[in-house]
A and B are shown apart, each in its own frame.
Chain A
Amino acid sequence: MASAALASSPPDGSAADPQKIIRRNLPGTSRAKWSNWPDQSFDEMDSTLTVQQYIQQLTKADPSNVDLILNPPEGQDINVWKYEHLRQFCMELNGLAVRLQAECRPDVCSQMTATEQWIFLCAAHRTPMECSAIDYTRHTLDGAACLLNSSKYFPSRVSIKEASIGKLASICRRVYRVFSHAYFHHRGVFDAFEEETYLCRRFTVFVMKYQLMTKEILIVPVLEELGLGNESTVGDSTVSASSGSPASKGESSSASETEA
């Protein structure tokens, strides 16, 4: 481990400190050595992107250790912590979107659905549209990327504007639908992805922990697998709540879309 990191440091080392470990993926680095450097404690990190570095370091070490990953270091601004986690989730969701792209065809999944009861309208457009599932996924991720990087709402990654905190919840709600669509319609893709990344589990615990979403709309039953799901009827209750004519379904979902 240490030797790998040292190998990636320049031979003459840093002029000031030849012993210093250079955490750098040099061009030409092989997959095995990618980001393969010794862990650094949060306090030692001195760049402006420490939170992202710390989260990525933990995630890379063990993506299944959800509690550790979501446990903020002492003295950390909780809003920045939430924001950086959400960035990380959206980034990793790109991986799920890539896998969905191969399977989720617009002619098969012409609507963004989850179970038989939910139809989601795409809020990326001026008037919410009934985009196909894959387009919904793409648009939602693109929209989230733009919003999370917007210099208007999130000009700094060191402190978050009070007014922008509400945006985090709406982004969470929207990107969660990618999980739910994958779970209910492309179960194979979802399971394979979840096996590798534990992303949905992390995300679910995250939104629960910081109350970014209500339990009622967390329809993917990953909590049960974690032993946290105390009621197995979560999905059923939402279904009954929103069941009705197709028109009312559309309305209810579009209402939830546009409120953001």
Chain B
Amino acid sequence: MEEAAAFTALPMEIYNKQTGDDGNPMNDSNNGKEPVYTMAGILHFLQTEWTKFEMERSQWDVERAELQARIAFLQGERKGQENLKHDLVRRIKMLEFALKQERAKFHRLKFGTEPPGFTAADLAKPDLGAEDEGAPVSEPAAAELTEALQQQQPAKRKDGREVIKQYLQEMGYNEVITDVKQARVEQLLGSPSAAASSTAAYPAGPASGDVKDSGGGGKGRRTIEEQLSSMGINVDDEGSDEESGSSGGGGPTVTEEEQVIAEFDFLVNQQEQSEWAMDEKTLSKMADFRKERVRAPKRSSGGGGSGGFMDEPDRAGSPPPETEPTGPYPTLDDPEIRLAVSGGGGGAAGSGGGSEEEGFRSALGLNLGDLQDITVANESDAGTTAECRRTWAIKFSLRSHFDSVRSLFFHPTEPALVTASEDCTLKLWNVSKAPSEQPTKKGMSVDLEPIHTFRGHAGPVLCACIADQLLFSGGLDGTVRVWGLPPLSMDPYDPFDASLVGPVLTGHEDAVWGLAASRPASGAPTTLFSIGADRTLRAWRPSQPAEQRLLSCRQLPHSPTSLGLLPADPGKLLVSLQSGQCLLMDAETGQVIARLSEDGAGPANAAIAHPAQAVCIAAHEDRRIRFYDMNSGGLAHSMVAHLDSVTSLAIDTNGLYMLSGSHDSSIRLWRLDDRTCMQEITAHRKKFDEAIHALALHPSKSFMASAGADGLAKVFV
């Protein structure tokens, strides 16, 4: 507006001047120098003036835009730093909390009692009101306990530190901390001088970091510590009795600090990468990180994340509350931090560890599950994604069988797979081989040739199992055959090696439908279990001479369909029956420990046991998957899982994911904690009314395989 006013005023001035001149023609002639005003001259003058002002105006516009951009940049930066600080503070608190948990655990283990700070009320996660009304432990008692605690302090603290160190190392952050990063964090945490220079001197950051050894770093560290302690959340949480530790800035604290800071690396990196759009980027990244954390499966079978945990993604995803940053300290508008401060104050006032603990607990809304989740998320960042796998994609089509593939089994350690087919053969495949002559096209699976074909059964081969460098197979002909495993480098057209054909275990009077091998103890020979349509469960010792091979033969109430050893307890067998029941049996005595069944359940086609929990999962002909509690024998859950009968199940070694195959031609991937389907793969064609017979997961490598009635086996990665 100002510019416009100035602009309009100008022509008036000229006009006045002009009229003035017109009014005194005599003066003009006196001067002699006085220009002669012509219409053209005036217009020219007006035009030049006009363009000059226009140009100036556009310059101002540009300047204004620049300044606005600058403001936006600075605001964005501020927000990013607020977020970062927010996160750092929370992480420190979480670590502290973990430390406390560990101390409490240690105390429990050592003295067999609940530590004084940990009461039932504490574990029940009291709300804020209850806490304010009074500590659950009376004052004198609390003081006494605090004293006792203080005496145990040194040892406890050391242990706690060790535990935290281990945690951090597990997260993949050990000694690879660079000074640069540390200096960055110091800047971010806001030692005033650094903060002032940080915005201007971003590129100069590393350089200043390099000189850190000359004392700046140490000072910086101390600054952080001071700030932390002033926030009431100093690293050694017992405010009063830890005075020496925190104020001195002693050795052990510093090393911990390093590690803690190292953990924040990724945040610092974000800071580096994002210059202009930092605000958005940081936010979205943080949001992603949170999401991943939420998605990341829980290691612990325990309670897992509760309310507080669920709140986190929201908080991270949305911008922090719009408050004026008053300095390096966290804003008191943030409820979390305010609570933390008050809790810390209580601790300092000497009212005992209890209230402080509670303060933290309620302030953080965290529990141990969170920390473990963080660990998992960090590991997935580091690249060990085996248990964090989301979906599978086909890699190979194993086309060499002439008829339905009935069973498959992965080598326990090698990337090898054996398939058993109704065409009377078993084939061994090396699934690590990259067929170089056939480049993998997108969406196309690659053919692979088997490295060996095992011929021996006089009828369809129904089951296979590898243990101890031996391959076992059972067929419709009622025999169990033992084979040696050739080296994976073998050429399929090498001369016949008779040593690969092992003994034949005869005894079953009907088709053999399931095999499982166990090694009772180190060095002891393998025991093989087999089930047959003659309703028997037999145990074999294949290494013995012919007449001593059969160890035992036990009758089963119905025709068995599948057999497995409990991964958690190899002394127990899980047998599924055509009657729909599953039996948990003692491998040694053959005693039935538990009968798992539901009235009206269709034939059970397969049953597997959870690797960590006492849960049995059974695939039924009536399209359902049933979950049984093996301790109580009760049905835990039952769900319709496919459009047709469920034939096979496979569970990953961590017990997080499960795969199911069905005669509806599809494979489904399930997340076990909430039993949701995460992926469906249509894999095989139908022959008669059969489609998928078996699934297998490699125990240590990232392979999945499916066996189809169409004579194909497919390998997924």
Contacts and interface: CB of A to CB of B under 8 A. Distances in A.
Interface in B564-612: 577-578, 600, 602-603, 605-606
Contact of B455 (A22, A24, A101): A101
A94 B511 contact: no
A131 B129 CA distance: 88
Given A22-B689, A142-B493, A149 B424 contact: no
Interface in B617-667: 621-623, 645, 647, 663
Contact of A26 (B457, B510, B605, B685): B605
Interface string A117-153: 0000010110000011011001101110110111110
B706 to A, nearest CB: 16
B266 interface: no
Interface stretch (B5-13, B201-209, B395-403): B395-403
Interface stretch (B150-158, B515-523, B554-562): B554-562
A28 B620 CA distance: 13
Contact of A53 (B399, B450, B663, B687): B687
A48 B685 CA distance: 7
Interface in A21-49: 22-31, 34, 37, 47-49
A145 B561 CA distance: 30
A253 interface: no
Contacts of B117: none
Interface in B258-288: none
A138 B403 CA distance: 18
Interface string B292-329: 00000000000000000000000000000000000000
A91 B402 contact: yes
Contacts of A134: 496
B680 interface: no
What range describes how many residues of B lie at the interface?
35 or more
B379 interface: no
Given A138-B453, A142-B453, A146-B400, A23 B689 contact: yes
A48 B457 contact: no
A246 interface: no
A124 B453 CA distance: 15
Interface in A204-226: none
B330 interface: no
Nearest to B711: A149
A12 interface: yes
B502 to A, nearest CB: 13
Contacts of A138: 453, 455, 496
Nearest to B531: A28
A139 B478 CA distance: 27
Interface string B376-407: 00000000000000000000010111110000
B642 to A, nearest CB: 12
A47 B709 CA distance: 11
A98 B455 contact: yes
Nearest to A148: B402
Interface string A144-188: 011011111000000000000000000000000000000000000
Contacts of A98: 424, 455-458
B606 A34 contact: no
Nearest to A87: B402
A10 B450 CA distance: 35
Q: Which of B399, B560, B686 has the most CB of A within 10 A?
A: B399
A142 B606 contact: no
Interface in B507-565: 510-511, 513-514, 533-534, 558-562
Contact of A30 (B559, B689, B710): B559
B561 A28 contact: yes
B131 interface: no
Contacts of A30: 510-511, 533-534, 559
A18 interface: no
A33 to B, nearest CB: 8
A95 interface: yes
B495 A47 contact: no
A134 B397 CA distance: 28
Interface residues of A, number: 49
B602 A12 contact: yes
B495 A132 contact: yes
A98 B501 CA distance: 12
Given A27-B562, A31-B511, A149-B400, A47 B447 contact: no
Interface in B455-469: 455-460, 462
A135 B495 contact: yes
A150 B663 CA distance: 25
Contact of A150 (B447, B511, B647): B447
A12 B511 CA distance: 26
Contacts of A229: none
A114 interface: no
B690 to A, nearest CB: 5
B704 interface: no
Given A10-B621, A53-B687, A27 B402 contact: no
B531 to A, nearest CB: 8
Given A95-B424, A132-B495, A142-B453, A27 B602 contact: no
A190 B4 CA distance: 111
B425 interface: yes
Contact of A90 (B402, B459, B501, B578): B402
Contact of B602 (A11, A24, A124): A11
Nearest to A32: B510
A238 interface: no
B688 A28 contact: no
Contact of A145 (B400, B493, B602, B689): B400
A111 B622 CA distance: 54
A66 to B, nearest CB: 20
Contact of A91 (B424, B558, B577, B710): B424
A122 B680 CA distance: 44
Contacts of A24: 645, 663, 688-690
Nearest to B694: A27
A141 B452 CA distance: 12
A46 B369 CA distance: 52
A53 B709 CA distance: 11
Contacts of A88: 402
Q: Which of B424, B455, B533, B685 has the most CB of A within 10 A?
A: B455
B423 interface: yes
B695 interface: no
Contacts of A199: none
B41 interface: no
Contacts of A91: 402-403, 423-424
A23 B688 contact: yes
A28 B399 contact: no
A156 to B, nearest CB: 11
A27 B35 CA distance: 114
A31 B510 contact: yes
B449 interface: yes
B399 A149 contact: yes
29 contacts: A12-B622, A24-B689, A27-B462, A27-B605, A28-B560, A29-B511, A30-B534, A34-B460, A34-B476, A47-B686, A47-B688, A48-B685, A49-B685, A49-B687, A49-B709, A90-B402, A98-B424, A122-B493, A135-B495, A138-B453, A138-B496, A139-B492, A142-B453, A145-B400, A146-B400, A149-B400, A150-B399, A151-B399, A151-B447
Which 5 pairs show the lowest CB-CB distances between chains A and B?
A: A27-B561, A91-B402, A149-B399, A28-B559, A23-B688
Interface of A: 10-12, 22-31, 34, 37, 47-49, 52-53, 87-88, 90-91, 94-95, 97-98, 101, 106, 122, 124-125, 131-132, 134-135, 138-139, 141-143, 145-146, 148-152
